[in-house]
Structure 1
Amino acid sequence: MTFQPSGRRSILQRRSSTSNSIQAGLDGMAVTGVAWWLVDYHIGFLTPAYVIMILLLLGALAVVYDHYAIYRSNVGFTLKAFKLFKAWTATFAFLVAMAFLTKQSEQYSRMLVAQLFLGGLLVQLLLHVAMREVQKKLLNHPDQLDNALIIGSGRLANFLHQKISNNPWLGQRMVGCVLIKAGGEPAGATAEIDPRHPTILGNITDLDVLVERHAIRSVYFVTPLDASEVIEEVYLRLLDKHIAVNWVPDIFSLRLINHSVREIAGIPVLTLSETPLMGMRLFLKNLEDRLLASLALILVAPLLMVIAIAIKLDSPGPVFFRQERMGWSGGIFRIWKFRSMVVHQAENGIVKQAQKNDPRVTRVGAFIRRTSLDELPQLFNVLLGEMSLVGPRPHAIQHDEEYSDSIVDYFARHHIKPGITGLAQVRGFRGETRDIEQMIQRVESDIEYINNWSLWLDFIILLRTVFAFTGKHAY
């Protein structure tokens, strides 16, 4: 018998609770009400232009709030309020952009739009506070909670236990966990442990007894990658007991790079490692790089000329230093830098990092290295599409090979274009690496950047670069 995924429905389904649906409806009505009242107050009647504005606002609200998972995430109120602020701001940014692009901005009152932004945000925050209080009161009765059980143990099981226990609006009470392998605590064990961890009730052989004793309604499998065969056997046993079964594969012991869940021809695919630069994201990243690099080259052209002349007068040799580096997806390119050292050959073919008070560094070279002006020619690499303004710094190929032997996930930093500056650099992880721990800090920052990439993050890093690229670590 061959497996054929069903074509009638997607296997990846979105779940929305009744309270979240009500919250979304209340937000839409509140925003519409605030907008209507402000138009009536300022204008006196609803004009076609403001009807279009309200309709666009509601449409953008649905799309942007879905992107920020406003109604799909159960987080603390402070974080929820911050996410709501970002989503609401992004919605208004879209409206403003549309008004200017269509040359209709003159039809709208600036005061009205500003008041709508502040009033709409305030009303939504109040509605979210009220909804959370209603949820807490409705779910504050133990007899209304479904008992849940975790099959598995470890950090992910502990994390899942905390999340469910600290979110009463999920409507579940976590009673404990059972170990996948036999030989654990006996069934019914209730020894006191860390309250952040689930109580170990027994092992997998005790499951039927525990399900009956605790009236379990939901089960969460938290299994390592090498224990997934347990799921089929236990799943069939639970199927006859009318229990909701959930699988949380324990993949988080791996270094995940831009991980996601998607669907291919009806089959769920869990992506562990992938570049964030695809489709529209790649287009936006390239657009950002080309536009800003072109503008920067125009602004610094006179400075480039002055530095080039100073290098030629200071020591014999070429103005630029060219060296092969490894880039995006392992591609090789030649980096552009101003030459900051005397012309020399690598000793025994070994590329030696620049050190503090390095005798190879020229007088002009010491200044441009300290101020990071030697990196400016890499704007040409950006225009050629070989580098980005922001990304992991590319190292000499020999150093890539050396560090990859000591750092398991070192090459994960090549899942995105290398950059002139990056998150590691603005955090101070630059210059000579005297020990492996310093390089590990760089790699961790680079992977954090890849996993959280956005145009906004690029903007913040570029802003911080202005203050970070001079100082004691530059030589």
Structure 2
Amino acid sequence: MVQAMKIYTDTLPPTAEITGRPWGLVRAAIDPLLAVAVYLAALRVFGAPFRQDDLVILTLSFVLTFPGDLPFRRFSAAAAGRLLLQWLKVAAGVSFFWTAKSMLLNSGFQPDGNVVATWLIGAPLAQFLMHWASPRVAPLLFPLYPQAKVVIVGANPVARRVAKLINDGEAEGQRFMGYFDDRSIRRLGHGGVRSVIGRIPEVSDYVKSHGIDTIYIAMPMTTQPRVVSLLESLRDTTASIYFLPDVFIADLIQGRVTTLAGLPVVSVCESPFNSTAGAIKRVIDLTLTILSLPVVLPLMAIIAILVRATSPGPAIFKQRRYGLDGKEIVVWKFRTMTTLEDGDTTYTQVTRGDSRVTPLGRFLRKTSLDELPQLLNVLGGSMSLVGPRPHALAVNEQYRKLIPGYMVRHKVKPGISGWAQVNGCRGGDDLDSMRRRTDYDLAYLRSWSLTLDLLIILKTIKMIVLGDKRAY
């Protein structure tokens, strides 16, 4: 099963932030200040004067990179991707300023071109090297800053998850001291016993005698009287107190806490593309699709001619599938088979050596070039470049009853490529294959980010170039 997997180590849910700690401000400013330092160094190396436009560039870069939120205790491909995306934003901001000044003020761009080029390459490289080295350097620096002492009341799975986050350095500035729990060693089980430092009635005295800064309460709401009693005993301490509700009995999709008329509301299943995120994703879809058209349209014309010339039938194959919110859409593909099957009532999955697939169709499917007409679906708004792959109607109706959470895939627009496809989950309509594909799709919804979309696009390009062994 893939449901519990993390796509990125950076997407571990953070514990409550400790505000006012010096390390928090330092961490937020390191990346922006490093970018400024590289620019000033480039000015010195090239002997260029510091002009007004240089100040504008430095201000833009600082605003677009502050606060720095990349991790300093670990480094991963995800962190590198986020760094690259951040500098694409900076380059876009500088380009926009350059264009706007030229058009509106009829004034050229004054900074030294060598300085700007060196900075756009050198600053992200310097940040990359710093974050790459940070897992070795950061632990040496943390003792220089005050650390909040943390205890957790309750030793259930949620509490252990938070303790692991703190011990792994996911909550910088916090130091886990131990659990308080009334249960016996036998009931606690292996893994939660060694760090139990007392029983719940002892929390208040321990907090006061050991200068505890933060308390996480991981007790179920069914023990409300005990929670109330605990809170009463902590009223004469200065520790910050947070609840860790055990909402993980459900498979959360974009779980978060919001408010409704002043009341706390926990989202259990929500689209990651509400409001701003959805608009950004749509802009990226349109931008990348439009930029690809000068190359893609001639290629599509050649493929269409070859399809018509090598087998009887239309060049484009249309099939009804489920899109956003489970509504029917028409998906376009190049025809790769001798038969046209809408898939509304029955659908026969293509298998290895399937006689229905034409020789040209086999090549198109292996390279995923048969999916190119779906760029028109993206332009029309019924699909996205990245998202769960849409299935034929008959497949949806079959598996929505067999796989829990299957229809949650339709909380977002279907994609030309997806997290499941770039992880080898393409083809196969048996229950295990469909369940595994669904697990990857739900993991994508939980962990969505622009960096993840960029990673999937890059992996898809690699598959197009090298071919997909699971495509028949």
Category of TM-score, reference length = shorter chain: 0.7 to 0.9
**Cα distance in structure 2, aligned partners of 1:193 and 1:334:** 53
Query: Residues 11-30 of structure 1 correspond to what in structure 2 (within 5 A)?
Result: 15-22=19-26, 24=28
SS at match of 2:178: strand
3-state SS, counterpart of residue 431 of structure 1: coil
2: distance between equivalents of 1:32 and 1:347?
A: 57
State the partner residue of 1:97: 95
Distance 1:31 1:292 in 2: 27
1:96 deviates by 3.1
Please give the alpha-carbon distance, in whole angstroms, between the structure 2 residues aligned to 1:165 and 1:39.
Answer: 42
1:176 to 176, 179, 182: 179
Aligned residues: 441
Does the 8 Å contact 2:213/2:238 carry over to 1? yes
1:133-182 residue CA offsets vs partner (Å, 9 max, x unmatched): 4431456xxxxx76543122233322222333454962544132315xxx
1:249 is matched with: 245
Amino acid at match of 1:381: N
Partner Cα separation in structure 2 for residue 410 and residue 338 of structure 1:
27
Q: Which residue of 2 aligns with 1:272?
A: 268
Question: Which digits, 9 at most, give the CA deviation of each residue in 1:360-381, with x for residues without a partner?
Answer: 4455544543443433332332
The match for 2:215 among 212, 219, 238 is 219
Deviation at 1:327, TM superposition (A): 0.9
Please, which of 422, 444, 458 is the counterpart of residue 449 of structure 1?
444
Q: 1:423 aligns with which of 415, 419, 424?
A: 419
Q: Which of 372, 375, 388 pairs up with 1:376? A: 372
Q: 1:300 aligns to what SS in structure 2?
A: helix
Report the equivalent of 2:8.
none
Looking at structure 2, the residues matched to 164 and 13 of structure 1 have their Cα atoms a distance apart, in angstroms, of 11
**Counterparts of 1:457 and 1:36, CA distance in 2:** 33
The structure-2 alpha-carbon separation of the partners of 1:299 and 1:148, relative to structure 1 and needing over 3 Å to count, comes to same
Identify the residue that residue 159 of structure 1 maps to in structure 2.
161
Corresponding position: 1:135 with 2:142: yes
Equivalent in 342, 347, 351 of residue 351 of structure 1: 347
Structure 2 CA distance for partners of 1:205 and 1:333, relative to 1, 3 Å? same
- Is the alpha carbon distance of 1:342 and 1:444 closer, same or farther for their aligned partners in structure 2, counting shifts above 3 Å? same
CA deviations on 1:390-448 (whole Å, 9 max, x unpaired) are 211111222223223332122222122101222211222111233x3322221222223
**SS, match of residue 239 in structure 1:** coil
State how far apart, in whole Å, the 2-side matches of 1:347 and 1:309 are. Answer: 22
Query: Equivalent residue for 1:463?
Result: 458
Residue aligning to 1:299: 298
Please say if residues 338 and 374 of structure 1, whose CA atoms lie closer than 8 Å, have aligned partners that are also in contact.
Answer: yes
SS in 1 for 2:69: coil
Residues 1:224 and 1:330: Cα distance change in structure 2 (over 3 Å): farther
CA–CA separation in structure 2 for the residues paired with 1:125 and 1:69: 14
* Structure 1 unaligned residues grouped into runs of 5+: 1-11, 140-144
Match of 1:328 among 304, 324, 327: 324
In structure 2, C-alpha distance between the alignment counterparts of 1:458 and 1:169, rounded to whole Å: 28
Which moves more between the two structures, 257-266 or 156-165? 257-266
Q: Is the 8 A contact 2:34 2:123 kept in 1?
A: no
**1:447 aligns to what SS in structure 2?**
helix
Residue of structure 2 equivalent to 1:7: none
CA pair 430-151 structure 1, distance change in 2 beyond 3 A: same
Structure 1 residue 265, shift from structure 2 partner: 5.0
* Residue identity matched to 1:379: L
Matched, 1:52 2:56: yes
CA contact (8 A) 2:378 2:384 kept: yes
Matches within 5 A, 1:6-85: 15-22=19-26, 24=28, 35-36=39-40, 38-39=42-43, 42-43=46-47, 45-62=49-66, 65=67, 69-70=69-70, 75-78=72-75, 85=83
Cα distance in 2, alignment partners of residues 466 and 81 from structure 1: 21
Identity of aligned residues (%): 27
Amino acid at match of 1:458: D
The 5 Å alignment of 1:376-415 reads 376-415=372-411
Q: Tell me how far apart the structure 2 counterparts of residues 225 and 299 of structure 1 sit (CA, whole Å).
A: 62
One-letter identity of the residue aligned with 2:114? M
TM-score between the two structures when normalised by the length of structure 1:
0.75
| CA distance in structure 2 between the partners assigned to 1:162 and 1:86 by the alignment | 29
When the two chains are superposed, the root-mean-square deviation of aligned CA atoms in Å is 4.3
CA distance in 2, matches of 1:91, 1:344: 44
Higher relative contact order (CA 8 A, sep 6+): 2
Q: Pick which of 228-237 and 126-135 moved more.
A: 126-135
Q: CA deviation at 1:41?
A: 5.7
**Structure number with larger C-alpha Rg:** 1
Shift of 1:220: 0.9
Q: Is the 8 A contact 2:318 2:342 kept in 1?
A: no
2: distance between equivalents of 1:253 and 1:356?
40
In 2, are the aligned partners of 1:262 and 1:268 still within 8 Å (CA)?
yes
Q: Give the Cα–Cα distance (whole angstroms) in 1 for the partners of residues 371 and 364 of structure 2.
A: 8
Alpha carbons of structure 1 residues 258 and 193: separation in structure 2 relative to 1, 3 Å: closer
Pair 1:90–1:306, CA change in 2 (3 A): closer
* 1:217 CA drift (Å): 5.1
Corresponding letter in the other structure for 1:69: D
Contact (CA 8 Å) 2:53, 2:109: kept in 1 or not? no
Distance 1:200 1:22, change over 3 A: closer
